[in-house]
Structure 1
């Protein structure tokens, strides 16, 4: 059965030859989608909603808003296989328009870096009899309200994104509206 014209196939990774026949995303787009999905899975684990910014509408340099009861925190997500999960930190170049946008936000803006230890998409997720494991980790840093944003974002790997992280973020959002009593 033929349903339309044949189209060129895109590859998702150098070693993922068996995925080439079904791939519709290029390598960077595949990483980007994986990064957002990975972070959303942590938000879901915490039962906190996330409103993703529509593609091409990220004028304020965020991928979405994490919806706490009092107000939202803004989140920018990047995903890379150029770093290892182990180590002390990772550095990411920030763009001037990101920094300008982040500096105008009255609520916290967090930069989240999802690190894949493997370049080949086949290795990003491991399926086995006991379940499915993501072979990734996410780390974060606040990029506004802490001084002038730098051209390079230093992401300390002691700041692993977990459910406990969201409790801290929620307190930081609350502090924007409810002053702390000394």
Structure 2
């Protein structure tokens, strides 16, 4: 049976897939976040998969300096709600704590488990059926084994304006 939201032939994705489901979800999460960065016209340098020794997926390139970003993607949560909690690995926290610039944890939430439903194609365009939320994970106090991501902190172009100010404050003292 053809899914009416996903385009012709989408039910046969398993015939062409080369990524395992978790890898596909991870790649979708990075691509979704990069689309927001592109909308803001801010560059993103993705860390090579085997080179993420500092527990970040890449650097968001502001003019003054970069912010570091760790991206996770999940269908275990719903977009609606107050927050989502992600387990934090000790080596992530150790790496993040040594960073002199902000490190942001971004959680991309997919309301649908089936990849066919992640993107909706229609005559007026294409819609990502996802949302991203963020929290700063360094320089905010004692690290915790759980990362609580408030859903009031939706990743948008406006978010990047506040991130750029936080990065700038690492180099240029604010005048009170």
- TM class by shorter-chain length? over 0.9
CA distance in 2 between partners of 1:66 and 1:74 (Å) = 6
Distance 1:26 1:145, change over 3 A: same
CA distance in 1 between partners of 2:36 and 2:143 (Å) = 26
Asked if structure 1 preserves the Cα contact closer than 8 Å seen for 2:6 and 2:119, the reply is: no
Deviation digits for residues 143-171 of structure 1, max 9, x if unmatched? Answer: 00001111000000000000000000000
Q: Which of 99, 113, 124 is equivalent to 2:118?
A: 124
Alpha-carbon RMSD across the aligned residues, in angstroms, is 3.6
Deviation digits for residues 107-151 of structure 1, max 9, x if unmatched? Answer: 000000000000000000000000000000000000000011110
Secondary structure, in 3 states, of the residue corresponding to 1:20? helix
Q: Which of 90, 94, 99 is equivalent to 1:96?
A: 90
Unaligned runs of 5+ in 2: none
Distance 1:125 1:11, change over 3 A: closer
Asked if structure 2 preserves the Cα contact closer than 8 Å seen for 1:11 and 1:19, the reply is: no
Deviation digits for residues 50-81 of structure 1, max 9, x if unmatched? Answer: 00000110000000000000000000000000
Higher relative contact order (CA 8 A, sep 6+): 2
Secondary structure, in 3 states, of the residue corresponding to 1:60? coil
Q: Which of 175, 179, 182 is equivalent to 2:169?
A: 175
Asked if structure 2 preserves the Cα contact closer than 8 Å seen for 1:12 and 1:23, the reply is: no
Give the deviation of 1:30 after TM superposition: 0.3
Asked if structure 1 preserves the Cα contact closer than 8 Å seen for 2:54 and 2:96, the reply is: yes
The residue aligned with 1:29 is 23
Asked if structure 1 preserves the Cα contact closer than 8 Å seen for 2:5 and 2:120, the reply is: no
**How many residues are treated as equivalent by the alignment?**
174
CA distance in 2 between partners of 1:61 and 1:178 (Å) = 26
Give the deviation of 1:10 after TM superposition: 24
The residue aligned with 2:56 is 62
Give the deviation of 1:18 after TM superposition: 1.3
Larger Rg: 1
TM-score computed with the length of structure 2 as normaliser: 0.94
Give the deviation of 1:12 after TM superposition: 15
Asked if structure 2 preserves the Cα contact closer than 8 Å seen for 1:11 and 1:27, the reply is: no
Give the deviation of 1:172 after TM superposition: 0.1
Secondary structure, in 3 states, of the residue corresponding to 2:106? strand
Secondary structure, in 3 states, of the residue corresponding to 2:50? coil
